[in-house]
Amino acid sequence: NAGVTQTPKFQVLKTGQSMTLQCAQDMNHNSMYWYRQDPGMGLRLIYYSASEGTTDKGEVPNGYNVSRLNKREFSLRLESAAPSQTSVYFCASSDSLREKLFFGSGTQLSVL
């Protein structure tokens, strides 16, 4: 059972480059999330999707866009990467906004 799958696991970008982080879940969950993890700051919510067809901003949405492609997939796009976006990114899913989260294995992103 794959659970939540994130790709890529590692990425190095130059300032100004763009990229998309992919996330897919096979648990038929309705809600999906993107978090970033920075030292000493825990997990901060970037965007979330309560259900297919909806997306909402979290705590730190600036510089990011998301797409809920279908019920399984939720992608995160950096249009013009900045060094401040160097972080570990986690995708997660849950049955609803009020149920426990299942996390992917994370993407370590470095922006030079």
Partner 1 sequence: ILNVEQSPQSLHVQEGDSTNFTCSFPSSNFYALHWYRWETAKSPEALFVMTLNGDEKKKGRISATLNTKEGYSYLYIKGSQPEDSATYLCAFNDYKLSFGAGTTVTVRA
106: contact with partner 1 by CB under 8 A: yes
Q: Which of 12, 59, 79, 83 binds partner 1 (CB under 8 A)?
A: 59
Which are the contacts of 85, defined by CB distance < 8 A and separation ≥ 6? 63, 78, 109, 111
* Contact between residue 22 and residue 36 where contact means Cβ atoms under 8 Å apart: no
74 forms part of the interface with partner 1 (CB under 8 A):
no
Closest approach, Cβ 21 to partner 1, in A, equals 15
Binding of residue 101 to partner 1 (CB under 8 A)? yes
99 binds partner 1 per the rule CB under 8 A = yes
Q: Does position 48 bind partner 1 by CB under 8 A?
A: yes
Q: Is residue 44 a contact point for partner 1 (CB under 8 A)?
A: yes
**Site string (1-30) toward partner 1, x via CB under 8 A:** ------------------------------
- Tell me which residue of 65, 84, 58, 50 sits closest to 19, measured CA to CA: 65
